[in-house]
């Protein structure tokens, strides 16, 4: 494995990322707003309810 990294340039960052927009709370707010506006929240809630019902119907004891 070390032979694989031997030929990479010295300035390669393997684990670091370049952050373009550091506003984390704003990104979360925007993602949540999109999640609600597209109706995915209802799919999540319906899936949780149906999954809970199926779990209770198929559990033994």
Give 10-49 pLDDT, tens digit per residue: 665 566 677 787 888 999 999 999 999 999 999 999 999 9
Buried b (16+ CB within 10 A) or exposed e, 15-45: eeeeeeeeeeeeeeeeeeeeeeeeeeeeeee
pTM, full prediction: 0.57
| Euclidean distance between CA atoms 59 and 7, whole angstroms | 56
Phi-psi region of 39 (alpha: psi -120 to 50; beta: other; left: phi over 0): left
Tokens of 43: 């799919």
């Amino acid at each position: 494995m070390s032979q694989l990294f031997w030929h990479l340039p010295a300035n390669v960052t393997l684990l670091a990322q370049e952050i373009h927009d550091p506003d984390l709370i704003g990104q979360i707010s925007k993602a949540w707003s999109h999640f609600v506006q597209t109706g995915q929240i209802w799919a999540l809630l319906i899936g949780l309810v149906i999954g809970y019902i199926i779990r209770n119907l198929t559990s033994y004891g």
